[in-house]
Amino acid sequence: MTSTVAFLGPAGTFTEAALVAFEKAGAVSDVQQLPVNSPSEAFQAVREGRADFACVAIENSVDGAVTTTFDAFTEGDALQVYQEVDLEVAFAIMVKKGLSLDDVHTIATHPVAYQQVRGWLTENIPDAKFQPASSNGAAAEAVSRGEVDAAAAPERAAEIFGLDVLANSVADVKGATTRFVLVGKPGRPTERTGNDRTSVVFTVPHEPGSLASILQEFSYRNVDMLRIESRPTRKKFGTYNFFIDLAGHIEDEPLSEALRALWLRTENLRFIGSWPAADQSGPKLDTTEFDKATAWVEKVREGR
């Protein structure tokens, strides 16, 4: 079955590489690519039915959260994550054919990518002016049109746009990775694997200790909180959306019970998804004590 997938284009971006990885893993099949200019546009394509899924970057091991993706989750109707993939990220420095580093006075790349190659640029072309691009592929395309002198992008982009590579495997932090997620309309979560990630977003009442008391719901049930991010709601100054990633699946009773408690204590709670963790060596939810407590309650109910 053909799946239309919106991704940060044009061709030659790491997001396109992540899309290929999702297809190889069987998360989507017979993919028809829909290149767009931002995570917000990718999500809107799904909401409007022009795409079945969106493939977007959500986190980088060097620069942290991709804030434009987090914001896109709250811009319209709820969407849901079904899969994730981690890609090691390194860049090629590319120019029009025949040019050298001495000819580079401007260089373009995505702002997140810039944070990953800034040290190399400072050391090798310190006088080059950085120009932000909507994507790494768009940066390479800008070089081909003569709008900038160089781009930091995946090496495949040089092949697509007919550019020379002056340096490859460029990364200030070797082994840096970016996490990408496959997002669609709400549906049944991906099957539990035993090493899963669950994500929600919510706002909290303006009351002393409200966030701290909410987070304790996870601690009480031994649910590991993997990440918390806050983003302005854009509705009222001083109000924030809180994004939380948890170890475990909504089918795990300790986690689902914690989410029930959140529903009672938060505002605008939205389920972002439960899906297999890309890093299968990461934290797992240990339900042993919770299961013992559940068994005890059942025993008392039955008069045993």
pLDDT tens per residue across all 304 residues of the chain: 789 999 998 888 999 999 999 999 999 999 999 999 999 999 999 999 999 999 999 999 888 899 999 999 999 999 999 999 999 998 999 999 999 999 999 999 999 899 999 999 999 999 999 999 999 999 999 999 999 999 999 999 999 999 999 999 999 998 889 999 999 999 999 999 999 999 999 999 888 888 999 999 999 999 999 999 999 998 888 889 999 999 999 999 999 999 999 999 999 999 999 999 998 777 788 888 888 888 889 899 988 7
**Residue 73 structural domain:** 1-88+178-187
Q: Tell whether 158 and 131 lie within a shared domain.
A: yes
Q: Name which of 235, 221, 198, 228 is nearest 288 in CA terms.
A: 221
Residue 233 Cα distances to 129, 166, 181, angstroms:
33, 43, 22
Structure-token pair, residue 217: 């719901």
Q: Domain with 254 in it: what CATH number?
A: 3.30.70.260
Q: Tell whether 101 and 61 lie within a shared domain.
A: no
Q: Tell whether 73 and 113 lie within a shared domain.
A: no
Can you list the pairs that 207-210 forms with residues at least 24 positions away whose Cβ atoms lie under 8 Å? 210/265
Q: Domain with 66 in it: what CATH number?
A: 3.40.190.10
Total Cβ atoms within 10 A of residue 233:
15
Kindly state the DSSP code that residue 162 receives in the 8-state scheme: T
Q: Tell whether 232 and 300 lie within a shared domain.
A: yes
Instruction: Please tell me the total count of domains within the chain.
Output: 3
Q: Whole-model pTM?
A: 0.87
DSSP assignment of 98-129 equals T--GGG-SEEEE-HHHHHHHHHHHHHH-TTPE
Q: Tell whether 67 and 109 lie within a shared domain.
A: no
Q: Tell whether 203 and 235 lie within a shared domain.
A: yes
Total Cβ atoms within 10 A of residue 261:
16
